[in-house]
Chains A and B, each alone.
Chain A
């Protein structure tokens, strides 16, 4: 059923079941997100996408709130901008964001967030975990967006190797009893790495180059190909730097993979020259 609602200054049409974010995006109104991804169920935990809806006392998360007829939505009011600025200040003052997606860093600029106001506050401390030759988990960069948990769980892989553990500021991503990844249920599909927005989860190949100051996305070429390991037909994007494959991803909008791969597609490229 088609309905009408107001988003900022425009009356727009939408289908029942659309989220505010979906409709806004279709009409060129950009709402920032962090924990939202096209291939995951919205968990609405980062609260970066909050908007003002007339009649609602608190702000509402645009990523998950379905539109209703005659809704009046403000996506960029002073209240909205204050909350977004604060979410960014809270995140940037508690975790290391220097390897985050560029959009997040742009937003810190755009909303005038000044995380240094909380410079004396607690930060997340966690030793870098490298327990195998494929992943590095650097949880002091983790914003707890739940994306990796969702990708490992019922949104993609159904492996359930990780969960959020603990509570409050101490909440963190963990295997049971912090069991080493090779001993856990992990199957090394790397779908958690693919969705991580802050560089907390990276392939070893990327981590090593970053640590050495040799990670240069602007010098990387991306070649799309089809995985040759089996007959499913997953598309692969080979990220090549200095003549070497440094990372493999799959396009999130690919109708077969939706951005997901298995261990072979994502990590089985050492034979390529």
Chain B
């Protein structure tokens, strides 16, 4: 793109220094080569487009916004047309393209915080905005503070949430003891044993073990992990990638955050195992932008692990999301890493054959990946010894809402819903339970009559609900569930990427119908059908599932 047309404004000194720092960490030279891209002999610059989002973050952190001059200079450096750079910047909630007030508080008013008992903490800010779920539902009443010249930070009430590993501590084994922030501590707790074991076993044996374990994805779709790995391992391409989807954004979900904050090395190790197993030399961790603490701990853990020479054979890059639920959709996440708008791709083809930069790619959720460590270290049979036949292993459950002790609970798959609730202290203030939300905003309500429900993939499926990302949110008898449904609808309208008509206009219309005095059920039916049938991705497919669930319960 030698004839890139860029306006006359340029970065000021602070912005230029920020861009310089990003360019110095060039990362792997990779570029999406497809019929839609003409590299025009400028492959070297084009191949760094994946630094666009890090560059935008650097500008945002340095001066509080993406100024025209900053954008122009960044685009020139990366060979990105400024219109496209602007399209990317305006896609993300946390990036600002207008000069902001000095300090902005993004106050969560999503499902769990809607119920928070404590009033929000008064902060010294210049402006307050409404925020979708910040993944702090175990702490309550969370805010994200954005100040010019600093990365964002989270503020929550000073409450120590529960981290309960239950009868079979695995995923939370290390996290139980507090945050493991040094390599020495991680090794003392058995860290990097699995990676060594994997190398001894050989790549094929690792894929076999994961397959034999019957591990299924913990991000929401429950896809068999072994099948995904085998597909990528069998690809003959020289370039392959493994990606950790750490963009946890489903309202009511915070388990991956707890894992990353308390046990960051385990994700690095698990990703290295995945890369070794499928023959990928590049790994990526895409962390939610609203998780600054997890991001910093991962960066530190990666630095220390690399410096200790533990990551031979794989280069790992950590990327920060910037406020977009849709980037948790796997193909949107890949687009976002590549430096494009986080718009989901049409599938097929799937990432296993056409993933990051068009190469075969394994993309797994954080919890899924960390399970692999135990499978490799102790063997699939031992791993399968808890859980049910069709849903082996344990599951991280995110208890929030009107529960006495909110927090992350690790339980064997198939645990009874009522038992988990009881172990979390029951309904707050011993009030009557009205409903439990399973699976988040894209999930469904469960009536107290169904409290014997087993939390396994098969039992949930049979009951017509989904475990999704492990959300278990309680609502007592004082809650107006219609308000909860309206908030969820507003969430989807806010988070729709806007690419396809059914979701872009459908989520907007759904909010309008639900906020009318008497929601027209014929319209809700039609909106549900077009979004479920004709949207490109899972966001549109499930944007009406809570509405449907509420109607089944007779709430709407």
User: In the complex, are the beta carbons of A90 and B536 less than 8 A apart?
Assistant: no
Given A58-B532, A117-B523, A154-B36, A169 contacting B493 (CB threshold 8 A): yes
Q: Is the CB of A184 within 8 A of B504?
A: no
**A82 in contact with B526 given A41-B35, A122-B508 (CB within 8 Å):** yes
User: How many B residues are at the interface, by size bracket?
Assistant: 35 or more
Q: Is B507 an interface residue (CB 8 A)?
A: yes
Chain A residues within 8 Å of B535, by CB: 47, 58
Min CB–CB distance B247 → chain A (angstroms): 15
Query: For A41, what are the chain B residues with a Cβ–Cβ distance below 8 Å?
Result: 35-36
Query: Is B238 in the interface zone, CB < 8 Å from A?
Result: no
Interface residues of B in 496-517 (CB under 8 A from A): 496-502, 504-509, 512, 516
Given contacts A87-B501, A87-B502, A185-B83, contact A61 B36 (CB under 8 A): no
| A163:B84 contact, CB within 8 angstroms | yes
Verify if B447 is at the interface (C-beta below 8 Å from A): no
Q: Which residues of B contact A243 (CB under 8 A)?
A: none
- Give B497's nearest chain A residue, CB to CB: A167
Q: With the chains together, A176 CA to B82 CA distance in Å?
A: 6
The answer on a CB contact under 8 Å between A47 and B534 is: yes
Contact with B along A126-167 (1 / 0, CB 8 A): 000000000000000001100000000011001111111111
- Determine if B530 and A166 form an interchain contact, defined as CB atoms under 8 angstroms apart: no
Structural contact, A179 and B346, CB atoms closer than 8 A: no
Once bound together, how far apart are the Cα atoms of A177 and B496, in whole Å? Answer: 22
Q: Is B81 an interface residue (CB 8 A)?
A: yes
Given A121-B508, A185-B81, A176-B497 contact (CB < 8 Å)? no
Determine how close the nearest CB of chain A comes to the CB of B333; give it in whole angstroms: 15
When A83-B534, A86-B529, A86-B530 are in contact, do A168 and B83 touch as well, CB less than 8 Å? Answer: no
For A87, the chain B residues whose CB sits under 8 A away are 501-502, 530, 534
**C-alpha spacing A87/B536, complex, angstroms:** 13
CA distance A71 to B508 in the complex (A): 34
Asked whether A91 and B501 contact (CB < 8 A) given A59-B534, A168-B508, A174-B83, the answer is yes
One digit per residue, 1 when the CB lies within 8 angstroms of any chain B CB and 0 when it does not, for chain A 73-96 equals 000000100110011011101100
Query: Which residues on the A side are within 8 Å of B502 (C-beta)?
Result: 47, 83, 86-87, 90
Please name all residues of chain A whose beta carbon is closer than 8 Å to the beta carbon of B4 when the two chains form the complex: 185
- Which chain B residues (269-288) contact chain A, with CB distance < 8 Å? none
CB distance from A49 to the nearest CB of B (A): 10
A90 touches B512 (CB 8 A): no
Instruction: From B5, B38, B504, B509, give the contact of A171 (CB < 8 A).
Output: B504
CB distance from A120 to the nearest CB of B (A): 7
Q: What size tier do the contact residues of chain A reach?
A: 35 or more
B68 sits at the interface (CB 8 A): yes
Point out which of A41, A154, A165 has the most chain B C-beta atoms below 10 A from its C-beta: A165
Q: Does B308 contact A (CB under 8 A)?
A: no
Interface presence of B392 (CB below 8 A)? no
* Complex Cα–Cα for A199 and B482 (A): 40
| Residue numbers in B under 8 Å from A208 (CB-CB) | none
B494 interface residue, CB < 8 Å from A? yes
**A168 touching B346 by the CB < 8 A rule?**
no
B533 pairs with A79, CB closer than 8 A: yes
The verdict on A9 contacting chain B, using a C-beta distance below 8 Å, is: no
Q: How far is the CA of A144 from the CA of B343 in the complex (A)?
A: 14
Residues of B1-59 contacting chain A, CB below 8 A: 1, 4-5, 7, 35-38, 40
Residue in contact with A86 in the complex, picked from B1, B81, B527, CB distance below 8 Å: B527
A249 at interface (Cβ–Cβ under 8 A)? no
Q: Does B91 contact A (CB under 8 A)?
A: yes
Closest to A158 in B: B38
Asked if B495 is at the interface of the complex by the 8 Å CB criterion, the answer is yes
Q: How far is the CA of A185 from the CA of B6 in the complex (A)?
A: 7
Inter-chain CA distance A185–B72, complex, in Å, is: 12
Say if the beta carbon of B313 comes within 8 Å of chain A.
Answer: no
What's the nearest-Cβ distance from chain A to residue B28, in Å? 23
Interface status of A64 (Cβ within 8 A of chain B): yes
Evaluate contact between A174 and B87: CB separation under 8 angstroms: yes
Cβ of A194 to closest chain B Cβ, rounded Å: 19
B324: interface (CB < 8 Å)? yes
Q: How far is the CA of A44 from the CA of B535 in the complex (A)?
A: 10
A50 to B38, CA, bound (A): 29
| Docked-complex contact B86 and A177, CB < 8 angstroms | yes
CB-based contact B529/A83 at 8 Å: yes
Do A185 and B5 form a contact, CB below 8 Å, given A58-B533, A61-B346, A122-B512? yes
Cβ–Cβ contact A176 & B512, under 8 A:
no
Evaluate whether A184 and B83 lie within 8 angstroms (CB atoms) in the complex, with A83-B534, A154-B37, A164-B341 already known. yes
C-alpha gap A170/B496 in the complex (Å):
10
Complex CA gap A120/B72 in Å reads 41
**B71 CB to nearest chain A CB (Å):** 6
The complex places the Cα of A217 from the Cα of B185 at a distance, in Å, of: 77
The answer to whether B86 touches A168 (Cβ under 8 A) is: no
Please state if B498 and A164 are interface contacts (CB–CB under 8 Å): yes
Bound complex: CA A170 to CA B505 (Å): 10
Residues of A within 8 Å of B530, CB to CB, are 82-83, 86-87, 90
Tell me the nearest residue of chain A to B495, going by C-beta: A168
B504 and A144 contacting across the interface, CB-CB below 8 Å: yes
Q: Which partner residue on chain A sits nearest B323 by CB separation?
A: A167
Q: Please state if B533 and A168 are interface contacts (CB–CB under 8 Å).
A: no
Closest to B340 in A: A163
Residues of the B chain whose Cβ atoms lie less than 8 Å from the Cβ of A185: 4-5, 81-83
State A48–B496 Cα separation when bound (angstroms): 19
Contact A155 B36 (CB under 8 A): yes
> A46 CA to B498 CA in the complex, in Å?
11
Structural contact, B68 and A177, CB atoms closer than 8 A: yes
Assess whether B101 is interfacial by the CB under 8 Å rule: no
Residues of A contacting B496 in the complex (Cβ-Cβ under 8 angstroms)? 167-169
A220 beta carbon closer than 8 Å to chain B: no
Q: A175 interface residue, CB < 8 Å from B? A: yes
Contact partner, B533, options A83, A163, A171, A183, Cβ 8 Å: A83
Closest 8 CB pairs of A and B: A171-B498, A163-B87, A160-B81, A185-B5, A86-B530, A90-B505, A176-B82, A176-B86
What are 9 of the A-B contact pairs (CB < 8 Å)? A58-B534, A83-B530, A83-B533, A86-B527, A163-B83, A168-B495, A168-B498, A169-B504, A174-B83
Known: A83-B530, A83-B533. 20 other contacts (CB 8 A): A46-B500, A47-B501, A47-B535, A50-B533, A79-B533, A82-B530, A87-B501, A87-B534, A90-B505, A122-B512, A154-B37, A163-B86, A164-B498, A166-B90, A168-B496, A169-B496, A169-B507, A174-B86, A176-B7, A185-B5
B: residues with CB less than 8 A from A are 1, 4-5, 7, 35-38, 40, 68, 71-72, 81-87, 90-91, 97, 324, 341, 346, 493-502, 504-509, 512, 516, 523, 526-527, 529-530, 532-536, 541
